Amino acid sequence: MSLRDRIERASKPTQNQDGDQVAVVPYEVVPKPPPVVPQPSQVAAREKWLRDIRFGLQGAVISATDSLFDAGDTADIHGEVETVVDRYLAANGLAVTRDERRQLVEEVIAEVQGLGPLEPLLADPTITEIMVNGPNQIYIERGGKISLVGATFLNNDHVLRIIDRIITPLGRRIDQTSPRVDARLPDGSRVNCIIEPLSLIGPVITIRKFSSRPYTVEDLVGFGTATAEMFDFLRACVEARLNIFVSGGTGSGKTTTLNVISAFIPEEERIVTIEDAAELQLRQEHVITLEARPANLEGEGEITTRDLLRNALHMRPDRIIVGECRGGEALDMVQAMTVGQEGSLSTGHANSSPDMLRRLETMILMSGYEMPLRSIREQIASAVDLIVHTARLSDGSRKILNITEVYGIEDDQILTHDIFEFKQTGVNENGKVLGTLEPTGVRPTFMPKFAANGIELPPGDFGIPPEGADHPVKTRIGKGRSIGIEHGDPTAAPRLTVGLGKAVSAGGMVYLSSVGPVDPETGRLVGDTIRVQAVQCLKNLQARLEEEGSSLDKIVWANWCLRDPAEFEPFSEEWVRWFPGDAPVGQGTLMPPQQRRVGFRVSIGVIAEA
């Protein structure tokens, strides 16, 4: 029955006990008064009053800490906390609403069991980063965008207590003598804390949250980080034991990408991971996780990433994964990649793939060893096979922008080319960046390694064009040191077209130019050291002179081209062995780029009597 029907029924005359008609006064419907909306000044005053209560509760919680921690389970702790809150409110004559009391109880439980105001933020799976800028500002990152939240700390001491709660179980410290620290939460989230005197705004906490469940290929494909085909390509690269660096800026998804790529490592291999603060979430069974250790109060006992990397070489690893190269450990990582630890992985901060190589050069120079830049670049080119570059775009999304091969070195410059690149096609009405990661049309030099490792490629080879006249393959001749151009079957030996020696006879003399260290039968480069190449050059020189009716003892003048002038001494020792008496006069010059490109360290030209 509706309200109107009930009112009409109640308004009709009724009879009393004597049978008389009694008129009933109808109900008067009184409109409900509008809710009272507090003024902003009243809300602010109430919040300040509640903040004072929270501050007072801090002391009550500290004095009751023992009894709170003695509580067995969550229900016991909840009851103990309610007792503490009610006792404090009653002792101070404070009246709060039911909702305010419930909120105070929840905040105290978060203080006792967790990280105070950060607890609800840590529990939110959509938040990827939490940034505490002193006690009064807490920012979060959600969907790649940063925003300010309403939660705050009470004061600097409150923030410091939360920092101590994070780092104490890890055996780390933070104080005036050591005012910064890297740590991690039990779920693997990375934490950085910095306090006065380095921070002028109070204690600062930065938490990079990680999913409790490690991301998979399907997750990253769903996020639009890359295509499923691209991850199939990276899987083949990992199984073929290519050395891979993941580069990118801060918050670009380097560690997440490394986690997913590392999942492609076969289960039977022994993996050693090395990090400043353990973040990687490998799913294989045979994994040894090593974590660096800072110095103690006396400034002793520090174990650096570089120390752990050197130790890892004695642990019989199949793969070494360094969470991030930041300094001199880059030298040890590069050397490990070239002395048997193929298939190793690492990350580094850089704005592009070429920048990652330059950063590696800088970090190796930070190792403290005096090394020529040419030698550093040769080691990098020899060690690194692939760079996967990630970035955070304008819409907050994280994507793989480039997959770049490092295929050689020429004129002391490391050679690279992109195998895949992200091509942006536009931005939709919601500001989302649109585009695809596509093959560039370059066929990488390591494609034969897939077949050598028994890896079956899908039809079309991930969209990489087949080798042919339109797509010549650049092939390493001496890993990382030099390249040549080869057409046809990539497993066939390339025949060089330089260094064969061109002879001209005129005026009773033979002019022979540019005899290089090339095997005359196979047409391939011989050796990668100055001595081996010098011997082959002299053998070829002798044969070519005899073809022209001359010989070594009829040489009257010689010109030798060296890739590196510093190698003149070992070349001269070999030259004197071939000419023990009066050696022909001559001069040395720098090698032209064409000969450098194919890996020559020396070539010789002569003038001889016919």
- Statement to judge: residues 105 and 131 lie in one domain: no
Identify any residues that bridge with 272 across adjacent strands, giving them in sequence order: 288, 320
Residue 132, amino acid = V
pLDDT of residue 490: 40
- Statement to judge: residues 101 and 138 lie in one domain: no
Phi first, then psi: give them for residue 468, nearest 5 degrees. 180, -170
Model confidence band, residue 396 (pLDDT cutoffs 50, 70, 90)? confident
Could you tell me what percent of the chain has a pLDDT over 90?
A: 29
Q: Give the residue, 167 or 89, on which the prediction is more confident.
A: 167
Residue pair 260/283 in contact by the 8 Å Cβ criterion: no
Asked if the model's pLDDT at residue 22 lies above 70, the reply is no
pLDDT of residue 92: 79
- Statement to judge: residues 182 and 313 lie in one domain: no
pLDDT tens-digit series, residues 450-475: 888 888 877 677 777 666 545 555 55
The residue among 530, 516, 518 whose CA lies nearest residue 572 is 530
Average pLDDT, the chain: 82
- Statement to judge: residues 380 and 321 lie in one domain: yes
* Segment 226-240 mean pLDDT: 90
Round to whole Å and give the CA distance between 477 and 499: 15
Does a structural domain hold residue 1?
Answer: no
* Segment 294-311 mean pLDDT: 83
Q: Give the residue, 516 or 457, on which the prediction is more confident.
A: 516
pLDDT of residue 137: 93
pLDDT of residue 29: 58
Round to whole Å and give the CA distance between 601 and 606: 17
Task: List C-alpha distances in Å: 259 to 322, 391, 416, 584.
Answer: 12, 16, 25, 62
Does a structural domain hold residue 601?
Answer: yes
How far from the centroid of its chain's Cα atoms is residue 254's Cα?
Answer: 3
Asked if the model's pLDDT at residue 30 lies above 70, the reply is no
Task: List C-alpha distances in Å: 171 to 1, 174, 273, 293, 336.
Answer: 71, 11, 20, 9, 30
Model confidence band, residue 18 (pLDDT cutoffs 50, 70, 90)? low
Does a structural domain hold residue 483?
Answer: no
Domains contained in the chain, number: 4
Does a structural domain hold residue 40?
Answer: no
Asked if the model's pLDDT at residue 272 lies above 90, the reply is yes
- Statement to judge: residues 347 and 260 lie in one domain: yes
* Segment 394-398 mean pLDDT: 85
- Statement to judge: residues 327 and 455 lie in one domain: yes
Model confidence band, residue 380 (pLDDT cutoffs 50, 70, 90)? very high
- Statement to judge: residues 256 and 400 lie in one domain: yes
* Segment 564-572 mean pLDDT: 89
| From 69-73, 209-213, 558-562, the region with the lowest mean pLDDT | 69-73
CATH number at residue 454: 3.40.50.300
Asked if the model's pLDDT at residue 165 lies above 50, the reply is yes
pLDDT of residue 491: 43
Residue 88, amino acid = Y
Q: What is the CA radius of gyration of the chain?
A: 37
- Statement to judge: residues 162 and 100 lie in one domain: no
Does a structural domain hold residue 262?
Answer: yes
Identify any residues that bridge with 422 across adjacent strands, giving them in sequence order: 437
Residue pair 225/257 in contact by the 8 Å Cβ criterion: yes
Q: Give the residue, 308 or 109, on which the prediction is more confident.
A: 308
pLDDT of residue 565: 86
Asked if the model's pLDDT at residue 25 lies above 60, the reply is no
pLDDT of residue 487: 39
Helix axes 254-262, 228-239, angle to 10 degrees: 60
Query: Pairing state of beta strands 319-322 and 345-349?
Result: parallel
Residue pair 388/247 in contact by the 8 Å Cβ criterion: yes
Does a structural domain hold residue 27?
Answer: no
Round to whole Å and give the CA distance between 208 and 168: 19
pLDDT tens-digit series, residues 315-341: 999 999 998 888 888 988 888 888 778
Asked if the model's pLDDT at residue 196 lies above 60, the reply is yes
pLDDT of residue 155: 86
How far from the centroid of its chain's Cα atoms is residue 338's Cα?
Answer: 21
Q: Give the residue, 492 or 278, on which the prediction is more confident.
A: 278
CATH number at residue 166: 3.30.450.90
- Statement to judge: residues 391 and 268 lie in one domain: yes
* Segment 141-167 mean pLDDT: 88
Model confidence band, residue 50 (pLDDT cutoffs 50, 70, 90)? confident
Q: What per-residue string of b and e applies to 193-219 under the rule 16 or more CB within 10 Å gives b?
A: bebeeeeeebbbbbbbbbeeebbebee
Task: List C-alpha distances in Å: 434 to 235, 253, 390.
Answer: 25, 18, 16
* Segment 6-34 mean pLDDT: 57
pLDDT of residue 248: 93
pLDDT of residue 493: 46
- Statement to judge: residues 181 and 240 lie in one domain: no
DSSP for 226-255? S-HHHHHHHHHHHHTT--EEEEE-TTSSHH
E runs forming strands in 174-329: 180-184, 190-194, 204-208, 244-248, 271-275, 287-291, 319-322
Q: Give the residue, 397 or 479, on which the prediction is more confident.
A: 397
Q: Give the residue, 484 or 77, on which the prediction is more confident.
A: 77
pLDDT of residue 108: 77
The residue among 507, 511, 571 whose CA lies nearest residue 536 is 571
Quote helix, strand, coil % in the chain, to nearest 5.
35, 25, 40
Containing domain of residue 349, as a range?
227-459+467-473
Does a structural domain hold residue 379?
Answer: yes
Instruction: Reduce the DSSP state of residue 371 to 3 states and report it.
Output: coil
Asked if the model's pLDDT at residue 66 lies above 80, the reply is no
Does a structural domain hold residue 424?
Answer: yes
- Statement to judge: residues 359 and 403 lie in one domain: yes
Asked if the model's pLDDT at residue 479 lies above 50, the reply is no
| From 22-31, 151-160, 423-432, the region with the lowest mean pLDDT | 22-31
Task: List C-alpha distances in Å: 416 to 360, 445, 480.
Answer: 15, 11, 11
Asked if the model's pLDDT at residue 483 lies above 60, the reply is no
CATH number at residue 544: 3.30.1330.40
- Statement to judge: residues 105 and 125 lie in one domain: no
| Last residue within a domain, chosen from 78, 113, 148 | 113
Could you tell me what percent of the chain has a pLDDT over 70?
A: 85
